[in-house]
Amino acid sequence: MVSIKDVAKYANVSVATVSRVLNNKDTVSEGTEKIVKEAIEALNYRPNLVARTLYKKRSSMIGLILPDITNPFFPALARAIEDKALSYGFTVILCNADGNAKKEMDYIKSLEQKYIDGFIISTSQLEVENYDQFDFPVVALDRFIKNEIPTVMANNEEGAFKATKHLMEVNCKLIAHVRGPSGVGPADDREKGFLKAVKESTIKYTIVETDYDLYTAEKVAYQLLQNNPEIDGIFAGSDLIAAGVMRAANHVGLLIPHDLQIVGFDGIQLGKMLSPSLTTIEQPIYEMGAMAVELLYKQIEKLDLEKLHYKFSTKLIKGETTKNTRGFINE
């Protein structure tokens, strides 16, 4: 690799002069600056970023901690974050925490030692006290960590309320909510929205819990549908869970949407591949990712944050897993 010494030699100036040019100091004459810059170009010199990191204690890298990269919601989110981060000159380091708090802490500690500029964290498995030790800024995405940490999430409660209301509008009589794990913020908030909607009416309902995993969701839904044949509507806690519910419904022999109507949550591409296509609650994934990067960038640059906590509105996307409401509305 070309060194700063090579540049100095080529330009016939001192190493200190090259360094001053690199650091945009005013103490170099325009003529000298031009010569140095030509040498840099001629030799294709790239400043040693590791040395710069050591000096500035900045790496222009941000970490993104995801609970599970194979859950298709998170690649969509990662893509949004990466696009936005690049526009700020950040390289994104993806960390797949895999539901393992130790793995997550190992990532954080090892990247902290590389002067990572900050983290966007989409997990909630660390103790809140862990965050107090951190020397770098953090943004919580799709999770709430604590009041002092900027947060970006969808309005999960509102979205779940819309999903459940839709199932009631299409005339479901017994609605089940197949929710994500207890203690995971979005899953808890979606249950709240579900309960709010069902409790406004006299509709019968039940709630079961699964992991965010296709086969677990299928197993849970299979048992639910076997034991409760009168269930005719399911609000699934995510699109991936909805895919599991649909597999279970097929095995039980229920026709969708004739016998069983389903609404998911997320609005990822997966829903369009399912057959029938999934009615779901769409989160504005791209906008959420972009906002998370902006909030992290502002903290890194020590700029003011106008607001700490952002909740994005969701939207019902009508697919084929629920019946058309038109007839119902016209009745």
Residues forming contacts to its own copies in the complex (CB under 8 A) are 1, 46-51, 53-54, 59-61, 69-70, 72, 74-76, 78-79, 82, 86, 91-96, 103, 107, 109-111, 113-115, 135, 214, 243, 246-247, 250, 269-270, 272-275
3-class DSSP assignment, residue 27: coil
3-class DSSP assignment, residue 264: strand
In the complex with its own copies, the residue whose CB is nearer, 163 or 245, is: 245
In the complex with its own copies, the residue whose CB is nearer, 23 or 201, is: 23
Smallest distance, Å, CB 91 to its own copies? 6
Smallest distance, Å, CB 55 to its own copies? 10
Please give the Cα distance from 33 to 40 (Å, whole number). Answer: 10
Please give the Cα distance from 31 to 91 (Å, whole number). Answer: 34
3-class DSSP assignment, residue 62: strand
In the complex with its own copies, the residue whose CB is nearer, 111 or 175, is: 111
Structural element, H or E, at residue 37: helix 30-43
In the complex with its own copies, the residue whose CB is nearer, 224 or 240, is: 240
In the complex with its own copies, the residue whose CB is nearer, 11 or 245, is: 245
Smallest distance, Å, CB 264 to its own copies? 12
Smallest distance, Å, CB 129 to its own copies? 14
3-class DSSP assignment, residue 178: strand
DSSP 70-132: TSTHHHHHHHHHHHHHHHTTPEEEEEE-TT-HHHHHHHHHHHHTTT--EEEE----S-HHHHH
Token readout for 278 is: 């999934």
Please give the Cα distance from 94 to 262 (Å, whole number). Answer: 33
3-class DSSP assignment, residue 314: coil
Smallest distance, Å, CB 202 to its own copies? 34
Extended strands (E) in the chain: 61-66, 91-96, 118-121, 138-141, 151-154, 174-179, 204-209, 233-236, 261-266, 279-282, 309-312, 315-317
In the complex with its own copies, the residue whose CB is nearer, 35 or 220, is: 220
In the complex with its own copies, the residue whose CB is nearer, 109 or 173, is: 109
**Crossing angle for the helix pair 4-11 and 15-22, to the nearest 10 degrees:** 110
Smallest distance, Å, CB 306 to its own copies? 30
Smallest distance, Å, CB 106 to its own copies? 8
